[in-house]
Structure 1
């Protein structure tokens, strides 16, 4: 995340919405105080109604190592006011909160805007971006994100001093979202505000979900949940997909839409580290970006698919849709490597010939030895989105960009297998994870056969 701070003088021009300015007119209750009707959970065993409140519970006999969410079934919300009362109790620095204008991932985890609270912290509550920019505004801050994603923050006089509420006791959140303006009041007093002007990361609409954070024994409760719609959410745009392309990807040995961060992926795909150095839910930008496309921004993280996946005996095709906004192209892309002496396959970017310019390459090792092909980045738009593919068919080794053959050589023999992990956005060398790719990714796929030229061309079609 870019953190360059621009002049704070602009902050005074942003309107602050006070909690006292809103009455109850137009609010609709979302919880009947008796049942979880209208709400759904991937694992209902953590959720119940107790003392007239939605209650999420973790115990020693029923532990939780994955965040749990109770999702409101009323659809997405856009501009709104939300009022709810909450309290959380447990052992140690318990974390909790609720998501809004968010996105449910395939494994039922959630990314997006969050009101986050944490026991045993000086701030207690903050405006947060789950799997995104992380802290947006701490209690006592007004933060502004400009169109390039730069953040500036200034103190809120209204929220100065010690906290006036306790997370262990019932307290009321009043959240107001109008466009990019987000205002949070706690017990009628202004706590934090955000002006989000970043068009790639601003979330105009999404789901509402209550969170039970993984960790030690916890009781998180919510009651008196009321919503006032100020602007309804837009209907979801229809998904445009080339049916032939989709069928080709469905038939792959592995296909990963990376905008979900590997959540729910089959075969399994982990992002490392778990919560830093990457951002989900970012809109694609730049030449070649697809309408409505969401991508993952990598800034030191990588994906790990484990050591089991391989190409075929004498054939493999790998594919990655990627962008380097800086045009540097100097990192691992899609690799089951370990080193030249054991590489199974490796799609990579580097300065291969030492001329100071980037190259895109594809390498394998067979029983005949090591082989590599590459082409200079100068032969493509260096800052645009590209469909990169490497192919080995037992007779030749080739690399493609946007469906066009860029380089190749005759080569043969059975592919050497290894026990190295298959990585995306990095590679292994001598037992270490190295050469992290700093850029943006959309999808990756692996076939244990050699795609033909027509199939390679399909990968570049929407």
Structure 2
């Protein structure tokens, strides 16, 4: 059963709207590092984040999402960063996930009003069996935009805003108005760069309509989204625990840089 209690806080960064325009002079724990990134998770508390405490906590310096046999989900649940709605940015950090786990990093997303802590939008997909890690999946939207190893252009689909037309353009959990324009390597070869049950580094570069997902320094998917009907150019940032068996995911060193 969903619990109404949640974590929320106001980080120093939210007090400066310049974080989203590149003009913020950060102070305290929100100082920019030498690469221009600002930490958005302090490793100690959930200040600045909002989610269901049934599933989210801080443990040993990591943001932890966990599903247990007694807390199985009926819908995917997110913990959402409350520091703004980034448009063009880079996002870095590390993740570790159990074998049966399924998670993702959502960005340029919107929060649903009828489902608790649910996001709709782009997602850098991550799973413990490394079947999907690195791909670009649009949560509650166009579904798969690019599989791991693909360079893709997404084109505007005529009348895609119409619900029936929209559904008709999703087949086998993939958006049909996508065109594979190049290869970054086979999915299997890129999988060898992703570690199982261990820490992996991620790096998202989101600028204009170009969406790049890196894991451990390797480009895993590259999407150019020309779909002016369905794409989003800014929105919320959050991480997910997915419906399914008991699992645990950890995130740490979460840092953002406005472009």
Q: Into which bin does the TM-score normalised by the smaller protein fall?
A: 0.7 to 0.9
1:205 aligns with 2:234: yes
Partner of 1:239: none
Name the TM-score, length of structure 2 as normaliser. Answer: 0.74
Secondary structure at 1:202 match in 2:
coil
Equivalent of 1:98, from 83, 102, 105?
105
Shift of residue 121, structure 1, vs aligned partner: 5.0
Shift of residue 123, structure 1, vs aligned partner: 4.4
Query: How many residue pairs were aligned?
Result: 205
Instruction: Write the mapping of 1:209-358 to structure 2, written as runs, cut at 5 A.
Output: 209-230=238-259
Q: Is the 8 A contact 1:118 1:125 kept in 2?
A: no
Secondary structure at 1:77 match in 2:
coil
Partner of 2:18: none
Whole-angstrom CA distance in 2 between matches of 1:48 and 1:157: 36
Whole-angstrom CA distance in 2 between matches of 1:52 and 1:96: 19
Secondary structure at 1:190 match in 2:
strand
The structure, 1 or 2, with the larger RCO (C-alpha pairs under 8 Å, 6+ apart) is: 2
Shift of residue 162, structure 1, vs aligned partner: 4.4
Shift of residue 44, structure 1, vs aligned partner: 1.6
Q: CA offsets, 1:1-23, max 9 Å, x none?
A: xxxxxxxxxxxxxxxxxxxxxx9
Name the TM-score, length of structure 1 as normaliser. Answer: 0.42
Secondary structure at 2:87 match in 1:
strand
Partner of 2:81: 72
Partner of 1:152: 179
1:60 aligns with 2:72: no
Whole-angstrom CA distance in 2 between matches of 1:228 and 1:162: 26
The 1:81/1:217 distance shift into structure 2, 3 A limit, reads same
Q: Is the 8 A contact 1:81 1:174 kept in 2?
A: yes
Whole-angstrom CA distance in 2 between matches of 1:24 and 1:97: 27
Partner of 2:223: 194
State the Cα RMSD in Å: 1.9
Whole-angstrom CA distance in 2 between matches of 1:153 and 1:57: 35
Partner of 2:22: none
Shift of residue 45, structure 1, vs aligned partner: 2.0
Max Rg structure: 1
Gaps of 5+ in 2: 1-32, 159-176
Instruction: Write the mapping of 1:383-398 to structure 2, written as runs, cut at 5 A.
Output: none
The 1:174/1:57 distance shift into structure 2, 3 A limit, reads same
